[in-house]
Every structure is written in C-alpha cells, then in structure tokens.
C-alpha cells in the first residue's frame, strides 16, 4: 500500500515537472493518410498498407508522432472505404489483417502512434448485417437499422433524400449520408455491443485510438419528429444562437453525448486512447461531445469552421481567442486546415506557398493538436477534374449544378480533386506507383511539386514543415504551454502575435498577414527559433524584428 502511494506521488511529481498532466493525445501532432493515394507497394495503381509501412521513416523524419489512416477495412469502395462491409477485416486492395497488425507494430517500433478511422454511424449496404436486416421484418437483425413505413421530412447530410425504399420489407431505411450507407440503430443494445466489439478488436491489436466518422448523427430523434420538435428536446440556455439553425432531428441527440462517454469508457479499458470526433457544429455543441465539465467524452473533436479561414490577422486572433475560451485545459482544440473531403490549403490560397507556411506556422505553435493532411508538407494543390468523370459519388449528386457556383463558394463537389496520389519524385506517376494507370491521375504539377525536389530546395515548403514540426517537438511550451494573445492594438496592422509559456520557457510567435514589411519593437531581448522565410528582410536586431510581407517567426529568450 505504502509503495503504491509512493508510486502515485512520484508520478504526480513527474507530471508536474514535465507539465505532462494532459494525456499524450492533447500534445501530439497528427498526419492524416488517405491510404489509396499514399504509396502503392505492388503496382496495381492503388496505395496500400505495405506502401504506408515503407513510408513510415519519411513520416518519422517529418517529425509527426501520430498517424491517422482513412479506412482500409473491407468495403465495396463505393465511398472509398467509408462504406464498411466488415469492421474486422481489410479490403484486399489494401492488404490483409497481418499487414494491418504489422503497420501497428512498425509504427510503435518508431515511437509513434496510429489511429484508425471508425465509421460507426453507418455500414455499407453490402454489410451482412444490412443484407439480413433488409431481407424481412422478422429476421434477427430486423431492428439493427432504422426502418419506417413512411419517410418523415428529414433530408440527408447532403441535403438529399435520406429515406430509401426496400421492397422485401415494404419499408424505408434511413441513410444520413449516401443511399448505400444505411445508418445503424444504436438504440438496439446488440448493435452497440457488436460495434464496441470491433472497437475492442482493434484496441487489442494495439491501435492508439480512432477518428470517428460523422459522430453527430450516431443517434436520431427516437420519435422521428421533424426538425422543429427536436430543437426543443436538446436545446439549453447557454447554446449559441446558431445552434437553432444547425440542429436536425438526426443530429446531436442527448444519447449521442452519452454514447461518446460510453465509447470513452471502452477505450479506457486499454489505457489512454485517442478519440477524435468528426463533429460539425459550434463550440458549445463540440463541448457536449468532449465533455461539459470534464474531458470525459471524446478526447478531441474537430472544429471545421477554420477550414474556411480568412487570410487575416483579425480572423485568426478571434479564432484563437474563442478556442482558448471554449476549450481551456483540460480540453484541447484541434487545428485542422485540410482533409480528404475539402479543398487543400494551397488551392484556397491560390497557390501562394508563403501564405500557406503562415497558416501552418500557426497550426503548430498554438495550444492544441495540429491535424495535417498528407501532401500539405509539399504544398500539393487540388487537381481540376470534371464532375461527370468523378469516382467520388458526391460529385454526381447534382448533375445540373454549374461548376462556377461551387467554385464561387470556395468548395468542390468532387473530392477526387484533393485525393490525388502523393507526389514523391519526378519519375513516372510521381513515384507513387509504376502501374500504367493510377486509381486517380497524378496532379499535373508533380515534376516541380514533390518530396525529392523539395528536399533539395532550401526555402521549400517541405523543409519549412520539417523545421516547424521539429521546433514544436523541441519546445515543450509549444506542446503544452499557456497561450497569451497580444492585443491587436499593440501590434502593427494585420499582424498576429502570441506568447507560449511554460515553467521553463517563453516563446513569442509573430505572423505578418500583410504583404507589407513590418517592424516590431520587442519588450525584451529575444533570439530567433524559426523564420517562415529565409529572405534577408526578415531579421532580428537590437530588440527589433523586421518581418517581410507574408512571413512569420518564432522567437525565444
Ligand atoms: O464526412 C462527412 C461529411 O459530412 C462531409 O465532410 C462530407 O464528406 C462533405 O461535406 C461532402 O462534400 C465523412 C467522411 O469524412 C467522408 O469522407 C465520408 O464520405 C462521409 O463521412 C461518409 O462516411
Ligand atoms: Ca497497391
């Protein structure tokens, strides 16, 4: 007993010393891989698990700790893996269960972590569970999905028809996303048991956690009320105004917040595991998923508002301020600027790599977890591909919709454009595969934008990202220190500045969003840790720093 108390005190003391009171996943850095596009090890034109294994040293050298892989489980691939037909097996084009196990252990050998993508909200319509459920009203799985005699007025997440007719049952099933992705019924305890079984299956194999697909819609209003009624059921006084606008009868149900805690408890059986929720909504809503009082729901959740950032100091000042206010310790925000669904950063910034560097500078130096999409480290951009030839089913939903309208809002309906193969070098297929045809065409710019070219170029995005992640890894204050924003009026126009402090160090981050050169007088003598640009204009002398247009710096005492 005494020994136990001693160990307890010792651990408490050590965590005070290192500041590591938070779980590892609040201090980590995440690199997202879209397996189909990362590296093709057997030259069939499709990226695979062995391909990822071959590139682990590359990711390690970049400095990332955690890898999140988009799904590679058994699937008819109609939504490229987000339509799962067996949660405990691997689609043959990606490899085998042994490959997945090897991936986990190779990641761990390098001192890194790996999280898988769990799509719990829906299965594929080819999943044996659904086939059985759809076969009659009386089979043992009849109640595993959401069946109704008549549709209500809900629309799918894509604002399309969400109820789909099945003759065998003379009924409709609900699908929050695409018609071939029927939603599971978590009010049936057997469904929950089966899904938690699959979660445990992977935890037993050593996976470090999960990214959770479409977590808002896990539960639907049990009475299938049209949206007006369900608003009241979950709204509370402190909800922000726009809550009313976003709530839908199939989203954000009280049971979903409870489910987050149950899932957390399952993970806790295996130690500290990352649960990263794909949650849409305002901060108040996100807090319901991560925990209102304590961080006892999902460990982390995305805030996708920032994907549509404005390249302005004011925008980021407000973003950081609100994230600090709404996710103070023991919570941690996630800083995400691109993923496998939305436009890449270079595309949003019209190819301006110096600007993109600044967003990343902010992403890795704020308090929270940076989540980084593969290829961003070389400044990959979206290809432009006609919607009618798209492999992505989403691109075919509104055939009459003029492309320029989608462009105008700064998004794309064709997710193929941002899922093109990783550009490794200037050889055939950008070194991704030596197949005649890759699953998606390699981007046209691969001869100039690739890992091998950028490794040799001093001022490249790749070299910047490598030093940036390294800076974050070397300075604990960036991973877990406080964040103190400098009031805008103390800085030149369109500049952002903040301190990151812990018990041992104090760092200052300065970012010039303007295209004009800026001079800042520092209160104390500081030295440079990192500059976003190697240009001569960015310099530090006699307590004064001159920042070139669109450049930034990290300084330390
Ligand atoms: O996405 C859910 C989602 O609502 C969006 O990000 C969506 O992909 C986008 O608005 C469409 O243009 C998740 C996954 O991230 C996505 O890849 C899957 O297709 C989807 O769920 C279904 O599982
Ligand atoms: Ca392959």
For the stretch 136-156, pLDDT in tens is 999 999 999 999 999 998 889
Residues 518-557: tens digit of each pLDDT: 999 998 889 999 999 876 567 788 789 999 999 999 999 8
Instruction: Write down the pTM of the prediction.
Output: 0.94
For residue 178, the ligand 1 atom closest to its alpha carbon is: 22
Q: Looking at ligand 1, which residue's alpha carbon is closest to its atom 23?
A: 82
Which DSSP helix (H) or strand (E) runs through 148?
A: strand 147-148
Euclidean distance between CA atoms 22 and 19, whole angstroms? 8
The closest ligand to the CA of 336 turns out to be 1
CB distance 82 to ligand 1 below 6 Å: yes
Residues 479-501: tens digit of each pLDDT: 999 999 999 999 999 999 999 99
Residue 238 has pLDDT above 70, yes or no: no
From ligand 1's centre to the CA of 71, what distance in Å? 13
CB distance 416 to ligand 1 below 6 Å: no
Instruction: List the structure tokens of 50.
Output: 């062995």
Instruction: List the structure tokens of 171.
Output: 């009924």
CB distance 213 to ligand 1 below 6 Å: yes
CA dist 131 → 86, 134, 443, 554 (Å): 13, 5, 39, 56
Residues 364-383: tens digit of each pLDDT: 999 999 999 999 999 999 99
Euclidean distance between CA atoms 373 and 360, whole angstroms? 11
The whole-number pLDDT of residue 537 equals 63
Euclidean distance between CA atoms 264 and 298, whole angstroms? 6
Residue 30 has pLDDT above 70, yes or no: yes
Task: Catalogue the E-assigned strands of 278-430.
Answer: 300-301, 334-336, 369-373
Q: Which residues pair with 373 in a beta bridge?
A: 32
3-state class of 275 per DSSP?
Answer: strand
For residue 339, the ligand 1 atom closest to its alpha carbon is: 15
Per-residue confidence band for 247, with pLDDT thresholds at 50, 70 and 90: low
CB distance 157 to ligand 1 below 6 Å: yes
The whole-number pLDDT of residue 98 equals 98
Of all residues in the chain, the percent with pLDDT exceeding 90 is: 85
Euclidean distance between CA atoms 155 and 361, whole angstroms? 39
Residue-by-residue DSSP string for 465-502:
HHHHHHHHHH-HHHHH-EEEEPPGGGS-TTEEEEEEE-
Q: What count of Cα atoms within 13 Å lies in the side-chain half-sphere of residue 310?
A: 8
CB distance 440 to ligand 1 below 6 Å: no
CA dist 170 → 16, 135, 154, 265 (Å): 62, 10, 19, 39
The whole-number pLDDT of residue 478 equals 97
The closest ligand to the CA of 439 turns out to be 2
The whole-number pLDDT of residue 390 equals 97
* Catalytic residue numbers, as ranges: 213, 269
CA dist 300 → 111, 243, 279, 327 (Å): 21, 20, 10, 10
């Amino acid at each position: 007993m005494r020994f136990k108390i001693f160990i307890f005190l010792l651990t408490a003391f050590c965590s005070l010393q290192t500041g590591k009171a938070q779980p590892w996943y609040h201090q980590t850095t995440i690199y997202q891989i879209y397996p189909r596009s990362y590296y093709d090890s057997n030259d069939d034109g499709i990226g695979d698990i062995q391909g990822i294994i071959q590139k682990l040293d590359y990711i390690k050298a970049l400095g990332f700790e955690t890898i999140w892989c988009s799904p590679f489980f058994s699937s008819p691939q109609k939504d490229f893996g987000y339509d799962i037909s067996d949660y405990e097996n691997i689609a043959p084009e990606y490899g085998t269960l042994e490959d997945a196990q090897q991936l986990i252990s190779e990641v761990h050998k390098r001192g890194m972590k790996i999280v898988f993508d769990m799509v719990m909200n829906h299965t594929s319509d080819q999943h044996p569970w659904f086939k059985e459920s759809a076969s009659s009203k009386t089979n043992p799985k009849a109640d595993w999905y959401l069946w109704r005699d008549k549709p209500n007025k809900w629309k799918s997440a894509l604002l399309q028809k969400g109820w789909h007719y099945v003759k065998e049952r003379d009924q409709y099933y609900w699908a929050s996303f695409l018609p071939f992705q029927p939603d599971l019924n978590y009010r049936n305890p057997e469904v929950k048991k089966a899904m938690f079984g699959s979660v445990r299956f992977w935890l037993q194999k050593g996976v470090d956690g999960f990214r959770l697909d479409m977590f808002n819609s896990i539960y639907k209003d049990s009475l299938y009320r049209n949206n007006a009624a369900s608003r009241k059921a979950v709204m509370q006084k402190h909800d922000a105004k726009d809550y009313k606008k976003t709530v839908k009868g199939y989203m954000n149900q009280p049971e979903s917040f409870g489910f987050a805690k149950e899932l957390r408890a399952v993970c806790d059986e295996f130690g500290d595991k990352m649960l990263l929720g794909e949650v849409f909504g305002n901060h108040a809503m996100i807090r319901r998923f991560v925990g209102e009082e304590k961080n006892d729901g999902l460990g982390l959740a995305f805030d996708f508002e920032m994907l549509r950032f404005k390249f302005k100091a004011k925008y980021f000042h407000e973003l950081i301020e609100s994230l600090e206010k709404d996710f103070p310790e023991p919570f941690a925000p996630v800083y995400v600027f691109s993923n496998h669904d939305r436009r890449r950063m270079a595309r949003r910034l019209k190819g301006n790599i110096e600007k993109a560097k600044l967003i990343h500078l902010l992403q890795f130096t704020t308090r929270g977890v940076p989540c980084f999409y593969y290829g961003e480290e070389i400044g990959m951009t979206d290809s432009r591909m006609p919607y009618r030839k798209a492999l992505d089913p989403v691109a075919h939903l509104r055939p009459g919709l003029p492309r320029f309208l989608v462009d105008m809002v700064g998004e794309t309906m064709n997710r193929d454009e941002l899922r093109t193969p990783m550009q490794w070098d200037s050889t055939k297929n950008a070194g991704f595969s030596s197949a005649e045809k890759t699953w998606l065409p390699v981007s046209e710019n691969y001869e100039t934008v690739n890992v091998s070219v950028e490794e040799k170029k001093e001022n490249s995005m790749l070299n910047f990202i490598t030093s940036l992640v390294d800076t974050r890894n070397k300075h604990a204050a960036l991973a877990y220190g406080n964040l103190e924003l400098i009031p805008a009026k103390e800085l030149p126009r369109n500049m952002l500045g903040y301190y990151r402090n812990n018990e041992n160090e104090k760092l200052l981050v300065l970012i010039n969003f303007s295209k004009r050169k800026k001079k800042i007088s520092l209160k104390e003598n500081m030295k440079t840790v990192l500059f976003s640009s190697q240009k001569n204009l960015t310099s530090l002398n006699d307590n004064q720093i001159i920042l070139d247009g669109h450049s930034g710096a990290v300084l330390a005492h």
